[in-house]
Chain A
Amino acid sequence: MQKELIKGNEAVIKGALMAGCSLYFGYPITPASEIAQAAAYYFPLLGGTFVQAESEVAAINMVYGASAAGKRVMTASSGPGLSLKQEGISYCAGAELPCVIADIMRAGPGLGNIWPEQGDYNQMVKGGGHGNYRNIVLAPNSAQEMCDLTMKAFELADIYRNPCIVITDAYIGQMMEPVEFPTTRKKVPYKEWALYGDEKSKKNLVTSILMNTHLEEEHNKKLQKKYQTIAENEVLYEALNTEDADIVLVGYGIISRILLNVMEILRKQDKKVGLIRPITLFPFPSDFISQAADSVKSFLVVELSNGQMIDDVKLAVNGRKDVHFYNRMGGAVPSVDEIVDVVKKFI
Chain B
Amino acid sequence: MKAAVLEKPKAFYDKFERKGKTQQETTHYCPGCGHGNLHKIITEALSEFGVDDRSIIVSPVGCSVFAYYYFDTGNIQAAHGRAPAVATGLKRSNPESIVISYQGDGDLAAIGGDEILQAANRGENMTVIFVNNAIYGMTGGQMAPTTLVGQKTTTSPYGRKIENEGYPIRMSEIIATLEAPVYVERTALVDFKTINHTKRAIRKAIKNQIDKKGFSFVEVLAPCPTGWKITPVDSQKWIQQHMMPYFPVQAFKDVSDQRESMEIEQRDYSDQEVLDVLGLSQLGEKKQVPASFIENFPTQFMKIAGFGGQGVLSAGVVMAACAMNENLEVTWIPSYGPEMRGGTANCSVILSNSRIGSPLTTNPNVLIVMNGPSLDAFEDDVQPNGLIIVNTSIVDRRVKRDDVDVLYIPLTEIASGLGLTAAANMVCLGAYLEYTKLIDYKSLFEIVPLAIKKKHLVDTNLKAIKEGVKYIRENYSR
The residues of A with any CB-CB pair to B shorter than 8 Å are 1-5, 14, 17-18, 22-23, 25, 42, 45-47, 49, 51, 53-55, 57-59, 61-71, 73, 87-88, 91, 95, 115-116, 170-171, 174-178, 181, 183-185, 195-199, 201-202, 204-209, 212, 254, 257-261, 264, 331-333, 335-337
Contacts and interface: CB of A to CB of B under 8 A. Distances in A.
Contacts of A197: 54-56, 74, 90, 94, 96-99
B353 interface: no
Chain B facing A: main interface SS: mixed
Contacts of A65: 58, 76, 78, 85-91, 93
Interface of B: 18, 20, 52-56, 58-59, 65, 68, 72-79, 82, 85-94, 96-99, 114-115, 117-118, 122, 265-267, 269, 271, 273-275, 277-280, 283-287, 317, 320-321, 324-325, 329-334, 336-339, 355-360, 362
Nearest to A209: B77
A67 B76 contact: no
Contacts of B97: 69, 195-198
B75 A206 contact: yes
Which of B82, B280, B358 counts the most A-chain CB atoms under 10 A from its CB?
B358
Given A195-B76, A197-B54, A258-B358, A64 B89 contact: yes
Contacts of B265: 47
Given A115-B338, A183-B271, A202 B72 contact: yes
A202 B74 contact: yes
Contacts of B278: 14, 17-18, 42, 181
A289 B284 CA distance: 42
A55 to B, nearest CB: 6
B285 A2 contact: yes
Best-surrounded residue of A64, A202, A333 (most CB of chain B within 10 A): A202
Given A65-B86, A183-B271, A202 B53 contact: yes
Given A68-B90, A198-B54, A199-B53, A2 B357 contact: no
B283 A88 contact: no
B371 to A, nearest CB: 23
Contacts of A14: 278, 280
B76 A68 contact: yes
Contact of B118 (A54, A170, A254): A54
B20 to A, nearest CB: 8
B336 A3 contact: no
Contacts of A17: 274, 278
A66 B68 CA distance: 19
A25 B122 CA distance: 14
A69 B58 CA distance: 12
Contacts of B339: 333
Nearest to A333: B337
B336 A115 contact: yes
A59 B287 CA distance: 43
B85 A58 contact: yes
B74 A73 contact: no
Contacts of A49: 92-93
Contacts of B287: 2
B88 A62 contact: yes
A5 B76 contact: no
Given A4-B279, A205-B18, A209-B65, A25 B89 contact: yes
A209 B76 CA distance: 10
A171 B333 CA distance: 8
A175 B359 contact: yes
Contacts of A54: 114-115, 117-118
A61 B78 contact: yes
A202 B92 CA distance: 17
A211 to B, nearest CB: 8
A2 B277 CA distance: 16
A300 to B, nearest CB: 16
Contact of A205 (B75, B82, B275, B285): B75
A105 to B, nearest CB: 13
B68 A176 contact: no
Contacts of B279: 4
A206 B357 CA distance: 45
B324 A5 contact: yes
A42 B277 contact: yes
Contact of A196 (B87, B94, B329): B94
B284 A2 contact: yes
Contacts of B72: 202
A88 B280 contact: no
Given A177-B330, A196-B97, A69 B52 contact: no
Given A5-B317, A17-B278, A61-B89, A260 B355 contact: yes
